[in-house]
Structure 1
């Protein structure tokens, strides 16, 4: 096993959190426009106020799509310079709790596996929870696979 892989495997089980991000109505509206998903629960504050949520909520897919941005602020372990990283996909995604307009979210990521799949190429698996400030339940939980080359 390479020294690099040994250093990376030492990070398995370590939980790291991102900076907080405010999910305001302007962000929700831009996502609705980009995806053509303009369901009232996301974009009509007056109509959404009559729902059990009491106002608009972010699309679950908006919350999921914020992961690359959120993960960019997560402190990284000491590793060689990464030449390129790619999203390899998700094994599991569950939308657990809605993010209300104006809510703040952050990603909590725990490395659960890493393997070398080719010379200088690694695949890592993170267990992700997108936390909502002030809420007991996360917005979503996911198992995310990414690859990177050093």
Structure 2
């Protein structure tokens, strides 16, 4: 984990890959719970036997499940000491570039694209998050994520 003392210390890293998260495994239980929470019960995610005969040879995680891992991956990769609160401010771009079969491990590569001061004694950071699947040359998801931190 990469630790920063202040927002300004992190902001000095614009243009750099700041951190890479640890690997996290995608389980069928996660996929099933995500399907329940979102109402997306498409067979390629939850019908294990049918998915084995489908186009990916196994059930795959929902693209939005992969995307929703950004906070977990980020929090396991960086820490900012002098911050009282951080919030997800949204996304500029998202692409799901390759599937994530159940049982795969993924991790996030965090590149800091921009850092700007905002009202309320804080900063907004724009991150390029590439979610890599272990053993795959192509990332599974590339997203431009916005986070706001307040001191």
TM-score where L is the length of structure 1: 0.91
Aligned with residue 32 of structure 1, among 29, 32, 35: 35
- Name the residue aligned to 2:3: none
Moved more, 13-22 or 83-92: 13-22
TM-score where L is the length of structure 2: 0.90
How far 1:136 moved relative to its partner?
0.6
Aligned pairs for 1:1-150 within 5 A: 6-15=8-17, 16-76=19-79, 81-118=82-119, 120-150=121-151
Q: How many residues align?
A: 145
Q: 1:86 to 1:5 in 2, by over 3 A?
A: closer
- Aligned 8 A contact 1:87 1:146 in 2: yes
How far 1:81 moved relative to its partner?
1.3
Q: Deviations over 1:19-61 (max 9, x none)?
A: 1110011111111111111110000111111112001000000
How far 1:121 moved relative to its partner?
1.1
Using the alignment, how far apart are the partners of 2:46 and 2:82 within structure 1? Answer: 42
Using the alignment, how far apart are the partners of 1:75 and 1:59 within structure 2? Answer: 25
Moved over 2 A (4+): 4-9
Gaps of 5+ in 2: 1-5
In structure 2, the residue corresponding to 1:61 is in which secondary structure?
Answer: helix
In structure 2, the residue corresponding to 1:135 is in which secondary structure?
Answer: coil
Gaps of 5+ in 1: none
How far 1:13 moved relative to its partner?
2.3
